[in-house]
Amino acid sequence: DRAGMRGGKFKVNLLGQEIWVGGDIVLSIQGTTCDAPHDFNKIKEQLAALQPGESINLSVLRAGKSIELTIAKD
């Protein structure tokens, strides 16, 4: 929320599980894509190395367009 991300607007049932859809889709964090499970370990390491107040950069897909969001680490 502090970064300006938008959550899903619609609840749907997918394979017996309710999920929210229609919000931002995270494409990358700190320049590392979220394509594969091993990418998440790299992202966790990058975020852990940041000092409080340093910027966290997110790229998200919103309404078909890629946008950049920035938030300071607590």
What per-residue confidence (pLDDT) applies to 38? 78
Tokens of 66: 């890629």
Above 90 in pLDDT, residue 47? yes
| pTM of the entire predicted model | 0.79
Above 90 in pLDDT, residue 60? yes
What per-residue confidence (pLDDT) applies to 37? 79
What per-residue confidence (pLDDT) applies to 2? 85
What are the residues facing 29 on neighbouring strands? 32, 58
Contacts of 42 (CB under 8 A, 6+ apart): 32
